[in-house]
Amino acid sequence: MNERLWGILVDSFPKLLDYGIRVTVPLTVLSFALALLISVIVALIQYAQVKVLRQICRFYIWIVRGTPLLVQLWLVFYGLPSAGILIDAFPAAVLVFGFNEGAYMAESVRGALESVSRGQLEAGYCVGMSYMQIMLHVVLPQAFRTAFPALSNSLISMLKGTSLASTITVMEMFRQATVINGRVYESLGLYTEVALIYLAFCTLLTWLQRIGEKKLASYGGEKA
Amino acid sequence: MMLEAKNVRKSFDGREVLRGIDLEVEKGDVIAILGPSGSGKTTFLRCLNFLERADAGELVFDGEHFDLHAASRADIARLRKKTAFVFQNYNLFLNKTVLQNVTLGLTLGARMRKDAAREIAVKALEQVGMADRLDAYPSQLSGGQQQRVAIARALAGSPEIIYFDEPTSALDPELIGEVLSVMRLLAEAGMTMLVVTHEMDFARNVSSKVLFMEGGSVIESGPSRQFFEQPKEERSQAFIRSIIEARK
């Protein structure tokens, strides 16, 4: 490797990492929090078979899963202003990422809810608990454990997906790499470098996932 | 009369499972509900606690009338405070410890203070011989132990009657005894119990009365002793014979 390239990589590394920590990570965390909220609400509505709302949820999942994420981003950021709806780039990204991943996660959460035996609900009723109490203390915690690997997957995929926000002017880690590259023109080196930083972030998440799974395993095997 | 069920009817997809069941329970009764598989025993028991909505029927409990088809949510909640249910497959809360399984209904359902609930729970667990496993999770227990915890959970709510739905049917043969002996102790202590079971020794020696069902109807009911020694109906006789045959 020549000295110039090495110098560029060493100079750019703290900048990229800085944008990663200050923008990519918060963008991921906020989007994921929104997605989690949406997915639990949507899954609960379907689990409890609430009539009209259930149709709306099916419709939402159908639309979101059936259209590309990039198109959704551009529609919200570049398209909606023509309809008088102006949203700043960062919140627009959070909104789109949240609603997008939320649809996928809702299916994971719904599947996990349905895997919890109906007997748990019946037992709760018989000792005088209300539906909400049973959901909160018994069914949701068990469903969360089942859904945890799938949700971790979503989080990892979302972290990488935030690079798409660069296309709607959000100055996050990847866009910063393209900006630096515009000055020095070292595509191979810079994009490899930014890829490695994403890889490091994802490795950290995978590691956290493993710890989480161990914690959740405390109450033992999957028995009916 | 503590409990009286009248004309309980239920169909699933047009198939009549209960064709008008009547039952009378006095305080302290231990009633075994017997009958071949598919006779509607379990469905009947579930209807009494609104785990299943009957198509028609009336329940009189402590003089209070409940419509088994149309009772309101508040009525059902009030009724369930006086009853407890033990399931065939235990249905312990899998994410809760033994102690939490018993206290949860007390702290959340009955809004009891934590220490008071714990005290009651430990006492109930002592009664079933499980007080030494307070912090175990259900998956760490044998089926017999889980069922005993489930019985403790039922006892903790100090119910007036406990419904047992085939409490030993899911157990390995060597584990049945420990559950039955706990039930026998309860019966001797005067607990009112309604037990759907295939355990003939329990029905004969512990229960005071028998309700024999077949095809969604009550064929015969009466004192256990009379039922086993001098069954009146031909189908009861055939049922008892078939069980004796199966034993051989």
Whether pLDDT at B9 is above 90: yes
Q: Is A97 helix (H, G, I), strand (E, B) or coil?
A: helix
Model ipTM value: 0.94
Q: Mean pLDDT, to the nearest integer, of B189-200?
A: 95
Q: B220-248: string of b/e by CB count within 10 Å (b at 16+)? A: bbeebeebbeebeeeebeebbeeeeeeee
- pLDDT tens, B140-178? 999 999 999 999 999 999 999 999 999 999 999 999 999
CB contact under 8 A, B140 and A125: no
The nearest CA of chain B is from the CA of A120 a distance in Å of 6
In tens digits, chain A (224 residues) has pLDDT values of 689 999 999 999 999 999 999 999 999 999 999 999 999 999 999 999 889 999 999 999 999 999 999 999 999 999 999 999 999 999 999 999 999 999 999 999 999 999 999 999 999 999 999 999 999 999 999 999 999 999 999 999 999 999 999 999 999 999 999 999 999 999 999 999 999 999 999 999 999 999 999 988 878 764 33
Domains of chain B: 10-15+26-72+80-247 (3.40.50.300)
pLDDT computed for residue A1 by the predictor: 66
Q: Which of B162, B211, B218, B214 is nearest to B186 (CA)?
A: B162
B176 vs B184: CA distance, rounded Å: 12
Asked if A31 contacts A101 with a C-beta cutoff of 8 angstroms, the reply is: yes
B189 vs B121: CA distance, rounded Å: 18
Asked if B57 contacts B71 with a C-beta cutoff of 8 angstroms, the reply is: no
Q: Which residue has the higher pLDDT, A218 or B229?
A: B229
pLDDT computed for residue B244 by the predictor: 81
User: How many CB atoms are closer than 10 A to CB B63?
Assistant: 8
Cα nearest neighbour of A142 on chain B: B95
CB contact under 8 A, B109 and A120: no
- pLDDT tens, B38-62? 899 999 999 999 999 999 999 999 9
Residue A130 corresponds to which amino acid? S
* Chain B interface includes A185 (CB < 8 A): no
Asked if B30 contacts B209 with a C-beta cutoff of 8 angstroms, the reply is: yes
Q: For B178, phi and psi rounded to 5 degrees?
A: -65, -35
Q: Tell me the DSSP string of A150-218.
A: HHHHHHHHHHHHGGGGGGGT---HHHHHHHHHHHH--HHHHHHHHHHHHHHHHHHHHHHHHHHHHHHGG
Asked if A165 contacts A73 with a C-beta cutoff of 8 angstroms, the reply is: yes
State the fold for domain A3-219.
MetI-like fold (1.10.3720)
Name the percent of chain B lying above pLDDT 70. 100
pLDDT computed for residue A221 by the predictor: 61
CB contact under 8 A, B85 and A122: yes
